């Protein structure tokens, strides 16, 4: 099948490669423009652009460029922008979405599933509509969330979604008979810096879920501390206090606490929680985290 592919981050690359491996013709790959990254501000291509060029595919940065090619269908995987309704009227499109729709429509379905404590999530291959993630579903695959990090879960869903996408495109029956979405609609709001901020009013479970997003941080005596790994512990210390004893550092939250397994202080390398504590030389009686 002659396809136009829309995608940007690492999570979209397995689908692009799977389509090529399955023998589909990718007429054009549309991805977000190169961005300036790092201290030097050098332009950096998206993961999809890098993969597309390796595969010898045409790359474009404008959705309108699709009009130059005779495509039978479009495929959208984490493109990062809405596809105009005018284009959808001309080209039927499939979307690989990393949730069990209609739960977690929107920009951050994997992270929101983790934060909510969902036991299960998955990937849906759906027909794309002009409205946000409302299209009928051609195929769904499910996975357990467990204790996976956002990166681990995203990688798993990306691979599963690639397989499901190829299965749908190779099946006239699946293509022709999608089912309507059923169930309660929830929206995966865009992540902000504050999403990753650990605060004492959180339960231990919510604290560790936030840490599993891999960008969590707290402030200890007003200094930022990145929390990379942590686990739940019981306790009745006052929320906001820190207990440090026996080589273990624990932040007290609401109804328990979390032990700091790995942290990264400002301007330093990653280290164990105890190594950070001994180096910081803080007073356990007066120190607070916020």
Length of the chain: 290
Least confident of 73-77, 197-201, 235-239: 235-239
Distance, CA of 251 to CA of 241 (rounded, Å):
6
On the question of pLDDT at 141 being above 90, the answer is yes
Res 277: pLDDT? 96
Establish whether the linkage from the previous residue to 266 is cis, with ω within 30° of 0: no
* Percent residues over pLDDT 90 in the chain: 93
Q: Collapsing DSSP states into helix, strand and coil, what is residue 170? A: coil
Domains of the chain: 2-188 (3.40.50.170), 193-280 (3.10.25.10)
Q: Does pLDDT of 38 surpass 70? A: no
Which DSSP symbol is given to 196? G
Average confidence score pLDDT of the chain: 96
Q: What are residue 105's DSSP bridge partners?
A: 187
Q: What is the pLDDT of residues 156-185, one digit of tens each?
A: 999 999 999 999 999 999 999 999 999 999
The distance from CA 13 to its chain's CA centroid, rounded to whole angstroms, is 14
- Is-contact 56 91, C-beta < 8 A? no
Here the tokens at position 43 are 């332009």
pTM of the model: 0.94
Distance between CA atoms of residues 46 and 32, nearest Å: 7
Put the strands of the sheet holding 223-233 in their side by side order. Answer: 217-220, 223-233, 256-265, 248-253, 242-245
Q: In the predicted model, what is the mean pLDDT of residues 255-267?
A: 96
Q: What is the pLDDT of residue 37?
A: 74
- Using the Cα atoms of residue 257, residue 258, residue 259 and residue 264 in order, give the sign of their dihedral: negative
């Amino acid at each position: 099948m002659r396809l136009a592919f829309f995608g940007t981050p690492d999570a979209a690359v397995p689908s692009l490669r799977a389509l090529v491996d399955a023998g589909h013709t990718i007429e054009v790959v549309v991805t977000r423009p190169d961005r300036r990254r790092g201290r030097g501000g050098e332009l950096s291509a998206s993961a999809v652009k890098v993969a597309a060029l390796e595969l010898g595919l045409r790359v474009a940065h404008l959705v309108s460029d699709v009009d130059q090619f005779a495509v039978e269908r479009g495929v959208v995987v984490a493109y990062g922008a809405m596809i105009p309704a005018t284009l959808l009227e001309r080209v039927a499109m499939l979307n690989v979405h990393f949730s069990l729709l209609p739960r977690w429509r929107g920009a951050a379905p994997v992270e929101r599933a983790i934060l909510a404590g969902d036991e299960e999530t998955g990937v849906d291959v759906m027909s794309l509509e002009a409205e946000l993630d409302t299209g009928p579903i051609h195929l769904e695959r499910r996975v357990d969330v467990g204790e996976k990090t956002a990166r681990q879960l995203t990688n798993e869903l990306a691979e599963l979604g690639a397989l499901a996408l190829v299965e749908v495109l190779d099946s006239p029956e699946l293509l022709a008979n999608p089912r309507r979405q059923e169930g309660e609609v929830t929206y995966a709001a865009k992540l902000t810096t504050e999403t990753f901020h650990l605060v004492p009013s959180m339960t231990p479970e919510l604290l560790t879920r936030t840490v599993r997003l891999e960008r969590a941080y707290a402030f200890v005596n007003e200094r930022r501390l990145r929390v990379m790994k942590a686990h739940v512990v019981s306790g009745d210390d006052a929320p906001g206090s820190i207990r440090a004893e026996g080589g273990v550092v624990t932040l007290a939250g609401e109804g328990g606490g979390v032990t700091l397994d790995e942290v990264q202080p400002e301007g330093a390398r990653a280290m164990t929680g105890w190594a950070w504590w001994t180096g910081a030389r803080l007073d356990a009686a007066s120190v607070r985290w916020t």
